[in-house]
A and B are shown apart, each in its own frame.
Chain A
Amino acid sequence: MDRKGRLAFVPARYGDGVVGGAEAVLADLAHGLAARGWDVDVLTTCARDHFTWENVFAPGTEEHDAVTVHRFPAVVSTPRAERAAIGAAIEAGTPVPLVDQQRWMNDDLRVPELYHHLLDQAQDYRAIVFAPYLFWPAYACGQLAPERTILMPCLHDEPAAALELFRPLFSGVRGLWFLSEPEMALARRLHPRLAPHRVVGAGVHVPDAYDPEGFRQRHGIEGRFVLYAGRREGGKNWERLLDGLAAATLHADLPFRLVTMGTGAVHAPPSLADRVVDLGFCSARDRDDAFAAADAYLQPSQYESFSLTVMEAWLAGTPVVANDRSEVVRWHCERSGAGLCYADDLELEECLRFVTEAPEAAAALGALGRDYVLDSYRTEAVLDRVEASLEDWLPTADGSA
């Protein structure tokens, strides 16, 4: 394998406290390839939060293990009123003229310094990898040097995905990396003239060991619980999950508390509030141990392109109860046999009844999940696929690849 040439990975956010699947996948790829000997830069913003885009990290350059991180200030210099108005129209499925789509994209985070950095130095990189497609850095910067740009779209079946605005990105870049077959199928449906593409998946770190009892002791958690880890926000169907759980606990004698970790406000309904344990942002160790201690992991999100947390739950041998509307997670559940899907609150309740009443069968499902992840998403296998595509799409100038 020819590992000559620098690689740039461009997530909109990177660093401690950043919660986001696309960002995590991209960061893992960057570090994984650096560990294999690649010269890797991360080009990103100074922001941690994707709503405020407040610059909390210092701009400039820093080293993270074998990766060089260049941070550029995130700029939000408009009231974002147009974005809100046009965004509402997009979400409602109203046809939006291209000019409005462009106004929608630009009336939010922008990163002019990053843009100009790439304008100046794109030619110095063998490949520039962007994720996710929805943010300004990928949209704007991804078209600067399309011949060496790889997009990892992390695509969901959301109204914005079909916008004309993104067609040049999806059709014009050197290649696309998808996390799953359903995501690739969606991209093919939305953008018939798709650039060369492959499913590479996402690598999942396998913890050396789990300590579920230690997790319980550290946080004073007794009894059975279900877990949600990630961003607590509407886009992840968080509030809807709470409402569904509240309804389920009213109808059924469920023994579970809901333990949650991540970012965002909880806002539990009153009938559920005393069952919810909010741990906030947790360490990787706590996260892994929590997965192992839980009776089930809940994935309410409809918009998933891979769902790292589902993989982490399965690695811990914990069954998953997931929103049926997520094609990707349903696909994982069906392939692995390790998760149940719910189409509405009633099915959510029945899934939880199953976990309550048949814990051994539920654990047996979870065990299938660990095998599935180890077979499909070991980090090394993913990195092999990534390197193979780099070799095919972006060989070095001397043709040594």
Chain B
Amino acid sequence: MRILMVSIYPPQRDGIAQYAIQEVRALRAEGHEVDVCSPEPSAAHMHLDLRSRRGPYALARRVAGYDRVIVQWHPAIFYNVPVTPAERRRVAFGLLFAFRRAASVEVRVHEFDIAGAHDGSIASRLTRTLWRSVDRITVHTEGERHDFAEAYELPESRIDVVEHGATFVRRANATRHEARAELGLPPEAFVFLSIGFLQPHKGFDRAVRAFRGLDTAGCRLEVVGSLRLEDPEYVQYVDELRALVDATPGVALHEHYVSDEEFDLWLVACDVVVLPYRMIWSSGVCARAELYGRRVIATRVGGLEHQVVDGTVLVDGDAELAAAMRAAAGREVATAEAWPTGADRAAIQAEVRRRAATRRPPGTPARAEDPAEPLRHLPRLELPPPVSVHTGVTTLKRVVRKLTRWQLDPIVEQVNDLARAAAGAHPADPSGTGSPAPAERPEP
């Protein structure tokens, strides 16, 4: 069978690329002839800018020669930002044209955007038609199946759940002892592992903070991965993650591109995989951890709840994450750290900074620029004082003030409350707790 796979593809470092290449490998192992079309130049057989106006039509010309077309779907492959109704119309129409020319289309949905799915517009109707034209839709979790079917008014029976690791194969044959020796890890330590691209939504900083104090119980946390995109937000996140790791005893950051083999070696070497994601649809890391029988602690986000196997610990929030890690390690952890003794201001100040840093989300330094700062310096609204240089006018103004106070004072208070709330809507500090008031004119 001739198969065309449309996907982000290696050497681009991306989870979908990794997923795609494993499926290609599996399909080819089954004897299929598989070509790959990627949106950017890669190891794929061909590449097409699928976000261009002509992209879907160029794809339409290529699909005709294949028995199956498999699309590894991520909105970023097809849609330009911002995703306007016109953009949704363009993409839906173009892909509909392409899919109709194909003998069979399967779409592996890794992420989807349901914005505008129900608004009754031409774009939404076209998009629903597009999805109805797909022969087989797969997602990784039951939750995704439900959401997707509801969004595009499809029967759930038309959507299959394919385990994220269905096509995964082992790439490491080492024992745990051998893996640790190769990676330079102490054989006796209890090792937590957070592995993957270093980006905010992976939340590895949460694991580092949750780990705090576990080093005293013979535990280690290995954070392994690399920066995926040179996006300023990601770069800043990694900077902060480095600082956080530096400030947290027992944690190491192995910041480099991880080959497939090394990736699995880390899984073999660890005791527990920690996936503190802030947002994820499904997790290839989780699937690979299961492949090696490694315990997983994961946050209950996206479709993870439906993906994981029995024995996986799902947590809600940082406190549960920390508790789960402690429970997994089975170690007693000292709860109160001692402060430096004596009047050593520098040491105490450093300890204050260190402790706060371990709790601060990366990407938001302690003295972060605060976008709401000008808002905070808006002076409080005050009614003009009832004074005048002119004889008798001061008295008149005071009378007017008294007569109108019942109306004006609540308005003034409301304006000031609104200003304070607006300033508070942009947290000034990484803990997100500050909701400062508008400042009045500063004085010494």
The answer to whether A and B interact is yes
Binding site for B on A (CB under 8 A): 20-22, 25, 50-55, 73-80, 84, 87-88, 91-93, 112, 131-132, 134, 154, 156, 158-159, 179, 231, 233-240, 243-244, 246-247, 267, 301-306, 324-325, 333-334, 337-347, 349-351, 353-354, 357-358, 361, 364-365, 367-368
Secondary structure at the B interface, as helix, strand, loop or mixed, is loop
Note all chain A residues with C-beta closer than 8 A to B430: 344, 346
A131-B444, A368-B345 given; name 6 further pairs at CB < 8 Å. Answer: A91-B374, A234-B439, A240-B434, A244-B434, A301-B442, A344-B431
Across the interface, do A76 and B440 meet the contact criterion of CB distance under 8 Å? no
Note all chain A residues with C-beta closer than 8 A to B444: 20-22, 25, 131-132, 154, 156, 179, 303-306
Q: In angstroms, how far is the closest chain A Cβ from the Cβ of B397?
A: 10
Q: CA separation between A90 and B389, bound complex, in Å?
A: 29
Note all chain A residues with C-beta closer than 8 A to B120: none
Q: In angstroms, how far is the closest chain A Cβ from the Cβ of B422?
A: 13
Note all chain A residues with C-beta closer than 8 A to B435: 243
Q: CA separation between A341 and B436, bound complex, in Å?
A: 18
Across the interface, do B387 and A235 meet the contact criterion of CB distance under 8 Å? no
Q: Give 13 A-B contacts (CB < 8 Å), ordered by A residue.
A: A50-B443, A53-B385, A75-B389, A76-B384, A112-B389, A134-B441, A134-B443, A156-B444, A247-B431, A303-B443, A340-B348, A344-B367, A361-B340
Note all chain B residues with C-beta closer than 8 A to A357: 336, 339
Q: Could you give, for residues 402-444 of chain B, a 1 whenever the CB lies within 8 Å of some chain A CB and a 0 otherwise?
A: 0000000000000000001000100011110111111111111
Note all chain A residues with C-beta closer than 8 A to B380: 51, 233-234
**Those of B304-352 within 8 Å (CB) of chain A:** 336, 339-343, 345-346, 348-349, 351-352
Q: CA separation between A272 and B413, bound complex, in Å?
A: 21
Note all chain A residues with C-beta closer than 8 A to B89: none
Q: In angstroms, how far is the closest chain B Cβ from the Cβ of A347?
A: 4
Total interface residues in chain B, CB < 8 Å? 50
Q: In angstroms, how far is the closest chain A Cβ from the Cβ of B155?
A: 47
The answer to whether the Cβ of B353 comes within 8 Å of any Cβ in the partner chain is: yes
Chain B residue with minimal CB distance to A49? B385
Binding site for A on B (CB under 8 A): 336, 339-343, 345-346, 348-349, 351-353, 355-356, 359-360, 366-367, 374, 376-382, 384-385, 387-389, 420, 424, 428-431, 433-444
Q: CA separation between A75 and B394, bound complex, in Å?
A: 11
Q: CA separation between A156 and B367, bound complex, in Å?
A: 18
Note all chain A residues with C-beta closer than 8 A to B341: 358, 361
Across the interface, do B437 and A234 meet the contact criterion of CB distance under 8 Å? yes
Chain A residue with minimal CB distance to B376? A234
Note all chain A residues with C-beta closer than 8 A to B359: 346
Q: In angstroms, how far is the closest chain A Cβ from the Cβ of B354?
A: 9
Note all chain B residues with C-beta closer than 8 A to A365: 343, 345, 348
- Which of A21, A237, A346 has the most chain B CB within a 10 Å cutoff? A346
Q: CA separation between A340 and B441, bound complex, in Å?
A: 26
Q: With A76-B385, A340-B349 in contact, do A234 and B438 touch (Cβ < 8 Å)?
A: yes
Note all chain B residues with C-beta closer than 8 A to A234: 376-377, 379-380, 436-440
Q: In angstroms, how far is the closest chain B Cβ from the Cβ of A52?
A: 4
Q: In angstroms, how far is the closest chain A Cβ from the Cβ of B413?
A: 11
Chain A residue with minimal CB distance to B340? A361
Q: CA separation between A358 and B376, bound complex, in Å?
A: 34
Q: CA separation between A306 and B56, bound complex, in Å?
A: 67
Note all chain A residues with C-beta closer than 8 A to B438: 234
- Which of B339, B351, B360, B378 has the most chain A CB within a 10 Å cutoff? B339
Q: CA separation between A132 and B434, bound complex, in Å?
A: 30
Note all chain B residues with C-beta closer than 8 A to A240: 376, 428, 434, 436-437
Across the interface, do B342 and A54 meet the contact criterion of CB distance under 8 Å? no
Across the interface, do A347 and B439 meet the contact criterion of CB distance under 8 Å? no
Note all chain B residues with C-beta closer than 8 A to A55: 387
